[in-house]
Amino acid sequence: MINEKMYALGAAPSAIRQLFAYGLGRKAEIGADKVFDFSLGNPSVPAPPQIAEAIRELSELPADKLHGYTPSQGSASTRAIIADDLNERFGGGYSADDLYLTMGAAASLDICINALTVPGDEVIVIAPYFPEYRMWIEAAGVRCVQVNARESDFQIDAPAVAAAITERTRAVIVNSPNNPVGTVFSRENLAELAEVLSAASEANGEPIYIISDEPYRELNYTGEPTPWVPSIYPNTLVCYSWSKSLSLPGERIGYVLVGPDVTDSRRVYLAVCGAGRALGYICAPTLFQAVIERCIKAPVDVEAYVANRKTLTDGLAELGYEFIEPQGAFYLWVKALEPDAQAFADRAKAHELLLVPSDSFGVGGWVRIGYCVAHDVIVNSMPAFKALMEEYR
């Protein structure tokens, strides 16, 4: 009578969203300062002041100029400015015509998956991975093939990817800086992956693409820029969003980049346009297209996350927790104190610590702590983390 798959997706929101909803209720119940909600990737750093200034300036423009339809791929002037910025930072010789503006990284990823695959194809994800990857892949009738990251350092296990590739493999989703682990895949690691994919593309007689999900590109604590994936593997489609870098997650503005070095780049670009159309997208929000055009150089404030990261990792290390030292993004990947991550997260919840168990990211035994919260939340959560650790001693 209705589509039961869609019903199931609506009735059981992601574990992250469920925990976030629980946290809102719990805060209302016992007070916001008593609940340590590390569930969601909602940036605590406010958008830079340039954004509000741009919005105010734009709101003075004639209204018919401001809110009208843009072409479906986005305003030509906004795309040109983004291309210039990418060329300055990464080279690549990009033009406005290589960019398709979207409603954020989720839209970008869903569009790329639908553009590159037909039902029965396969897309590889590197576990642990953002849970919605599997949902979008499977919604397209495509098989989600999970390849675990290396246990030692959570970099990509290129030989394992090689072993997972079949004739039906169309793409690998790469997410660096990584959600949920916080790793940045090194240039060497990406080069290993590139070698595997180049060989497999040749064997298959058609390209295997990288879909590079990069909302955390600028949130990098290594002192080096995040390696630019298309410079390592040309058959890369870049999915970007200003949600995290400019703290605009609700405004839904991002892009897909199909550079000139992508095989059959014009055909792939048009398939991206077609997938956007089929998924019901008309154009990215017009006002925020104009805001991005004016604010592309707005500085990304990483310092607050650097401070959060230090307080959190120092505190947890002292208490005896094991975790992966984060190189980017704003997540800490912490070893659960028992093998069952869900059971551990449930016990943490009793201390008002809202940690996302690793199961929905495709692996067992860990939890994700989103540290894009007010600094105080981290400081004040330490007694709870201490009590939780003591329970396991």
Question: What CA–CA distance (Å, rounded) separates 311 from 375?
Answer: 8
Give 71: exposed, middle or buried? Use CB within 10 Å, 0-12, 13-18, 19+. Answer: exposed
Residues 325-384 that bind its own copies (CB under 8 A): none
Ranges within 298-327 binding its own copies (CB under 8 A): none
69 lies in the binding site for its own copies (CB under 8 A) = yes
Q: Which residues, numbered 121-150, are part of the site for its own copies (CB under 8 A)?
A: 132, 135-136, 139
CB of 331 to its own copies, least distance (A): 16
**Least Å from the CB of residue 56 to its own copies:** 5
Is residue 323 within a helix (H) or strand (E), and if so which, with residue range? strand 323-324
Nearest approach in angstroms of CB 228 to its own copies is 23
Q: Is 151 in the site for its own copies (CB under 8 A)?
A: no
Q: Report how far residue 180's alpha carbon sits from residue 143's, in angstroms, rounded to the nearest whole number.
A: 22
Would you tell me how many other CB atoms lie within 10 Å of the CB of residue 303? 9
Record the tokens describing residue 117, joined without a space.
């695959």
Q: State the nearest-atom distance from the C-beta of 196 to its own copies, in Å.
A: 19
- 259 is an interface residue for its own copies by CB under 8 A: no
Stretch that binds its own copies, among 28-36, 114-122, 212-220, 338-346 (CB under 8 A): 114-122
Per-residue contact string for residues 32-61; x = within reach of its own copies by CB under 8 A:
--------x-xxxxxxxx-xx--xx--xx-
Based on the shown chain and the rule CB under 8 A, indicate whether residue 77 belongs to the binding site for its own copies: no
Contacts of 392 (CB under 8 A, 6+ apart): 337, 338
The one among 34, 89, 267, 310 contacting its own copies by CB under 8 A: 267
* Contacts to its own copies from residues 88-107, by CB under 8 A: 103-104, 106-107
Question: In 3D, which of 157, 253, 262 has the Cα closest to residue 211?
Answer: 262
Helix axes 265-278, 104-116, angle to 10 degrees: 120
Neighbours of 151 (CB within 10 A): 8
